[in-house]
Amino acid sequence: MKDYLLTVKNLTITLADKEKDIKIVDDISYSIKKNETLCMVGESGCGKTVSALSITRLLPSPPFKIDGQIFLEDREILSLPIEELYKIRGKEIGFIFQEPLSSFNPVEKIGDQIAEVVRIHENFDKKTSKEMVYELLHHVGFKNPKIQYELYPHELSGGMRQRAMIAMAIILKPKLLIADEPTTALDVTIQAQVLNLIEKLKDEYGLSILFITHNLGIVAQISENVLVLYAGQIVEYSRVFELFKDPLHPYTIGLLNSVPSLTKIYSYNKSIQGNPPEPTNIPSGCPFHPRCNRKMKICETKNPPFIKIENRYVKCWLYSEEKNAHS
Ligand code: SF4
């Protein structure tokens, strides 16, 4: 585990409901090395955000219940005393959310909100923390940081608000940055600028990044590894290059075919049919079987195991010897 900054083992998240417990994330394991980016990809509702929030125990418990283990280097986060956890949030793990407008306090100046993070964690005085914020705002692309420090969130454009959110996430030089769909709400050109900024900061600060997205088009640009989530389960886990060159799981193939391309103008014809299942109604067997164009009899009744193929993992009967015994 020495080389890994984050190691997640058998993470399962359930939501207590009046009638029965609902499994949102189902036994997922993954790890991120120092200074590497892992992209977590999947459609809305597949459990991406919930699993990311669990890393800093930001899910209210109850109604959520988290099982498994989450290690930040050698510290197991789920069993840490709450005072230790407060020190880790913000200082060792930074968060960027999709819509900064709802994450910032609307009635407090942007600069003061960022400076507050420094004051809480480092106990710096007002003047020192203000100077730090000026410097960092300039570094993340604010041309007039002393003026822009004084603005309220609604006075910034979407792109600048996201830059301010990034500044707040990294001001304490965290080891891990969790970016939850940070560019989804932005125009394409601004999206590219924000991605470039995140990449630049990764190199400068030696960050490890967990990047959550539903957009496979982004993955190739920023990530070394990728895991694909479907119905709360990992269905494929691979180096990015290999996944794009030779996707294994039918769901991953469908996702890739759904990425618009100027050269593949008919690609939408091959996109995935139907909708992802509700967590309250996960199909039996392989949860993807109602949408899969390669399903077999066994897929309807038995969930496939994780199969290792060289350095990759896939959860699909197509790659198992066992399917022959049932066919
Ligand atoms: Fe399709 Fe069966 Fe593989 Fe599931 S296990 S993805 S249904 S082939």
**Residue to substitute in 234, 299, 303, 326 for testing ligand 1 pocket (most ligand atoms within 8 angstroms of CB):** 299
- Check whether 262 has a pLDDT greater than 80: no
3-state secondary structure of 100: helix
Averaged pLDDT, 254-272: 69
- Check whether 259 has a pLDDT greater than 80: no
Q: What is the pLDDT of residues 125-160, one digit of tens each?
A: 889 999 999 999 999 999 999 999 999 999 999 999
Could you tell me the pTM of the whole model?
0.92
- Alpha-carbon distance of 128 to 124, in angstroms, equals 6
Residue nearest to atom 5 of ligand 1 (CA): 316
- Alpha-carbon distance of 223 to 269, in angstroms, equals 28
Q: How many A from CA of 288 to the centre of ligand 1? A: 6
- Check whether 94 has a pLDDT greater than 80: yes
More confident residue, 270 or 301: 301
Q: How far is CA 152 from the centre of its chain?
A: 28
The DSSP code for 315 is: -
Predicted confidence at residue 324, as pLDDT, reads 58
Decide: 155 and 128 in contact? Cβ < 8 Å. Answer: no
Residue nearest to atom 8 of ligand 1 (CA): 295
Region of poorest pLDDT, from 8-12, 17-21, 71-75, 195-199? 17-21
Q: In the chain, what are the domains?
A: 1-81+176-327 (3.40.50.300), 100-173 (no CATH)
With cut-offs at 50, 70 and 90, classify the pLDDT of residue 264. low
Rounded alpha-carbon distances, angstroms, from residue 299 to 218, 285, 314, 323: 31, 5, 14, 9
Name the region of 242 (left: φ>0; alpha: ψ -120 to 50; beta: rest): alpha
Burial class (CB in 10 A: 0-12, 13-18, 19+), 83: exposed
Ligand 1: residues with CB < 6 A are 249-250, 286, 288-289, 292, 294-296, 299, 304, 316-318
Q: How many A from CA of 104 to the centre of ligand 1? A: 42
Q: Indicate the angle between helix axes 126-139 and 158-170, nearest 10 degrees.
A: 130
Q: Indicate the angle between helix axes 158-170 and 188-205, nearest 10 degrees.
A: 10
List helix spans (H) across the chain. Answer: 48-55, 82-88, 100-103, 110-122, 126-139, 145-148, 158-170, 188-205, 216-222, 240-245, 250-257, 297-301, 322-326
